[in-house]
Amino acid sequence: MPILQVYYPQEALSADRKAALAGQLTEVLLNMEGGARTQGGLAFATVFFTAIPSGDWWVGGRTDAGYVSKPGKFLVRVSVPEGYMSQTHKSEVHAMVNAAFLRVLSEPDAGDTRQGSSILVTIEEVTEGNWGCGGRTLSLASISDAVGLAKSGARFRWVQAYFAAKARQFAAAAYPADTGGLLPQHSDEKGRPA
């Protein structure tokens, strides 16, 4: 259930380029979901754009491009469920997002080693139990079911190991009941680490 929020200077994207970029970033989202080109995967693949007035975006104390590399300044916030990605996978997402921008907005220039370095990408993990849809809380397990991610695969085994370790930490620290933040199978009926 990742969401991509793209912040960009108001004049930086034409309607055509925004549409092309939305298509490329949707592909990034589907790849992040393990190729979840299912009804559920496509329904969760959300990209939205927020234009920032040029006078409101400062880099290095300036609003011009003095410290900005090609193809320009962009901020991409990627919201993902907690425990969904290893560091290797996060690094792959950073690279995929940057490559999508460069494909749409820039002619490759092998001599420009800074190309794309003004495209900032942050991955923000939403704590387990904080995603919701349709008026109900969605666990990472239910999101996996919705997008068709096999729970027998390596990706979900990594998720299970992450949350098992987190449950052990919670138990050792005597977290209060119903603190949240664990997969349902790692907590009891009151939300305590099982």
pTM of the model: 0.85
pLDDT value at residue 185? 66
pLDDT value at residue 190? 53
Range list of H helices, the chain: 15-32, 39-44, 87-105, 140-147, 154-172
pLDDT value at residue 188? 58
Neighbours of 108 (CB within 10 A): 10
- 162's CB contacts (< 8 A; 6+ apart) are 83
pLDDT value at residue 24? 96
- 184 preceded by cis ω (within 30°)? no
pLDDT value at residue 189? 58
Per-residue pLDDT of the chain (194 residues; tens, 9 = 90+): 689 999 999 999 999 999 999 999 999 988 887 777 777 777 788 999 999 998 999 999 999 999 999 999 999 999 998 888 889 999 999 999 999 999 999 876 777 888 889 999 999 999 888 888 888 888 877 777 777 777 787 778 888 888 888 888 988 998 887 777 877 765 655 555 55
Please tell me the distance from the alpha carbon of residue 186 to that of residue 165, in angstroms, as a whole number: 10
pLDDT value at residue 128? 87
